[in-house]
């Protein structure tokens, strides 16, 4: 079976020698830590658009984050606090984020009409409801494909998870092909056994790799398929990571910086995301686990938002300080929100009917709040949007035209759901 790729460009026939040549050439501009020189970084920062999704796995509560309803039957025990934007209040669990509200756009009228984890995830990451007839690529694959370039020395799509066990990237890229599927970093670490064993010399490794490549190329000339392509891409991606392994080591950061983020796993993962974006990775998704609080929602949100708030704001500060915020779209999302009604175990359940997403950075109008829910949070009363609207908005924010098409098997497939449109009110 031929790989059902949307085109036959060089992106799908990466020449390893050319890749190595490019990466070596690019590496000449890198500092010993793998970072671009100040001048090169500046050019990168201005020209390259990037995306970072902070994914609150399990579904964070909108009432304990961006749309609090204190002193109502559904409000829970926490209060709302004023932010740096006059008139905008968010949960007291986000005191540092409140000080950066002028950088954030809050979408409070999200209604995805979906209360199950997996379909909710699909809606939020592809901008479409799951469709048995076609798999749509995730935002990460779309970003890597449309924002990345042939000269990138790192994979364009990276997903940092608390634990990669059981995680899959199979559906990430869909018809865009394995080159754009996520590299999964469990606990922020490159996959096990990626690095060259100490017993294997560099020379022997190169010889081995050359032989593998020769055989692969010969095979691909006559029998290229999705499977061989995926195989080949995985080697290329592994090689890319291997050559910049230091990049993945957040211990290389000054103690002062890591202290600003915090010492826990999510802090470390978000700091790694910043390093990767800074080094030119197009799309990084960082998952923070977990918010699926059917039981004791308030204790757990206290714990989880306490972990989220500090590194999130340190991350925004870092992007701003490096001149990267205006070229990096940051999205804080989940698969859904949580029920306004509090259950008898102090929990909140799944709720896709009226919840919130926050954005910052590239193309986003800081301080904007769009959409409204009713007094106790049970319904959207103004400017209802769904995953499709948000997907359009992400693309527009980074300068892409969501109305264009991909052409898998020469058939036009709109990049974003044509039934939706961007949320213009939050676009700069």
Partner 1 sequence: MAIDPTLARVERELKHTSPLIGCRFDPSGRYLYATAQDETIVRFDTTSDEKLSLVGHKSWARGLAFLPGSTSSSHTLLSADYHGKLFWWSSADATKPTRTLDAHEGWVRAVAVSPDGSTIATCGNDHLVKLWTAAGAPIRTLEGHASHVYNVAFHPDGRHLVSVDHKGILKDWDWQAGKCVRDLDAKALHSFDPRFYADIGGARGIAFDTRAGKVRLAACGITNVSNAFAGVGNPLVILFDWVDGKPTLLKLKDAFQGTGWGVAFHPDDYIILAAGGSGGRVFFWKGDDATSLHEVKVPIGARDLAVKAQGDQFAVAGANGTAYLYGFTPPPKVEKKPAAKPKK
Phi, psi of 139, deg, nearest 5: -55, -35
Phi, psi of 34, deg, nearest 5: 95, 0
In the complex with partner 1, the residue whose CB is nearer, 45 or 62, is: 62
In the complex with partner 1, the residue whose CB is nearer, 293 or 393, is: 293
Give the x/- contact pattern for partner 1 in 194-213, rule: CB under 8 A. --------------------
Binding range to partner 1, per CB under 8 A, among 97-105, 106-114, 293-301, 406-414: 293-301
In the complex with partner 1, the residue whose CB is nearer, 202 or 344, is: 344
Give the footprint of partner 1 on residues 53-112 (CB under 8 A): 58, 70-71, 73, 76-79
In the complex with partner 1, the residue whose CB is nearer, 127 or 337, is: 337
Q: Which of 169, 161, 156, 303 is nearest to 237 (CA)?
A: 156
- What's the length of the chain? 428
Q: Which of 404, 394, 414, 376 is nearest to 329 (CA)?
A: 394
If one asks whether residue 223 binds partner 1 (CB under 8 A), the answer comes out as no
Number of residues in contact with partner 1, rule: CB under 8 A?
A: 27
Q: CB of residue 76 vs partner 1: minimum separation in angstroms?
A: 8
Q: CB of residue 294 vs partner 1: minimum separation in angstroms?
A: 5
Q: For partner 1, which residue of 265, 326, 384, 425 counts as binding (CB under 8 A)?
A: 265
What's the distance, Cα to Cα, between the start and end of the chain in Å?
Answer: 45
Give the three-class secondary structure for 161.
strand
Is residue 178 within 8 Å of 234, Cβ to Cβ? yes
3-state helix, strand, coil in the chain (%, to 5): 40, 15, 45
Is residue 329 within 8 Å of 394, Cβ to Cβ? yes
d(CA 168, CA 181): 10
91, two tokens:
């949960």
277, two tokens:
């974006």
Q: Which of 50, 18, 11, 13 is nearest to 279 (CA)?
A: 50
In the complex with partner 1, the residue whose CB is nearer, 6 or 78, is: 78
Q: CB of residue 57 vs partner 1: minimum separation in angstroms?
A: 9
Q: CB of residue 296 vs partner 1: minimum separation in angstroms?
A: 7
Q: Which of 256, 323, 290 is nearest to 45 (CA)?
A: 323
Binding range to partner 1, per CB under 8 A, among 31-39, 145-153, 344-352, 391-399: 344-352
Q: For partner 1, which residue of 203, 321, 344, 410 counts as binding (CB under 8 A)?
A: 344
86 Cβ partners below 8 Å, 6+ apart? none
Give the x/- contact pattern for partner 1 in 150-189, rule: CB under 8 A. ------------x---------------------------
Q: CB of residue 166 vs partner 1: minimum separation in angstroms?
A: 11
Residues at the site binding partner 1, with contacts judged by CB under 8 A: 58, 70-71, 73, 76-79, 162, 265, 289-290, 292-296, 299-300, 302-304, 342-345, 347
């Amino acid at each position: 079976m031929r790989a059902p790729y949307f085109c036959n460009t060089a992106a799908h026939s990466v020449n390893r020698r050319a890749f190595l040549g490019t990466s070596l050439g690019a590496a000449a501009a890198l500092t010993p830590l793998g970072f671009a020189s100040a001048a090169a970084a500046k050019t990168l920062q201005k020209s390259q658009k990037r995306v970072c999704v902070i994914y609150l796995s399990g579904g964070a509560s909108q009432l304990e984050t961006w749309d609090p309803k204190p002193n109502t039957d559904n409000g829970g025990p926490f209060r709302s606090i004023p932010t740096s934007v006059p008139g905008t209040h968010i949960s007291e669990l986000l005191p540092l984020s409140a000080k950066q509200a002028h950088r954030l756009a809050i979408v409070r009228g999200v209604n995805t009409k979906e209360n199950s984890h997996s379909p909710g995830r699909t809606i939020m990451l592809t901008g479409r409801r799951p469709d048995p007839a076609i798999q749509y690529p995730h935002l990460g694959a779309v970003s890597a494909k449309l924002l990345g370039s042939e000269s990138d020395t790192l994979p364009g799509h990276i997903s940092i998870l608390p634990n990669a066990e059981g995680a899959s990237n199979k559906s990430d890229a869909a018809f865009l092909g394995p080159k754009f599927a996520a590299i999964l970093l469990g606990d922020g670490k490159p996959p096990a056994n990626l690095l060259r064993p100490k017993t294997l010399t560099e020379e022997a490794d190169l010889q081995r790799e050359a032989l593998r490549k020769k055989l692969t190329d010969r095979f691909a000339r006559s029998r290229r398929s999705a499977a061989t392509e995926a195989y080949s891409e995985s080697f290329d991606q592994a090689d890319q990571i291997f050559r910049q392994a230091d990049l993945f080591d957040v211990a290389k950061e000054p103690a002062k910086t890591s202290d600003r983020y915090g010492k826990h796993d999510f802090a470390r993962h978000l700091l790694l995301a910043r390093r990767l974006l800074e080094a030119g990775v197009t799309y990084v998704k960082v998952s923070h686990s977990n918010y699926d609080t059917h039981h004791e929602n308030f204790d757990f949100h206290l714990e989880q938002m306490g972990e989220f708030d500090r590194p999130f704001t340190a991350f925004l500060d870092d992007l701003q300080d490096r001149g990267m915020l205006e070229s990096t779209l940051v999205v804080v999302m989940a698969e859904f929100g949580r029920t306004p009604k509090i259950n008898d175990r102090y929990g909140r359940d799944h709720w896709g009917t009226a919840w919130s997403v926050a954005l910052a950075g590239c193309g986003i109008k800081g301080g904007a709040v769009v959409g409204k829910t009713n007094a106790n949070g049970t319904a959207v009363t103004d400017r209802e949007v769904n995953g499709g609207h948000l997907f359009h908005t992400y693309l527009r924010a980074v300068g892409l035209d969501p109305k264009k098409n991909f052409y898998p098997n020469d058939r036009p497939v709109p990049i974003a759901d044509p039934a939706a449109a961007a949320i213009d009110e939050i676009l700069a």
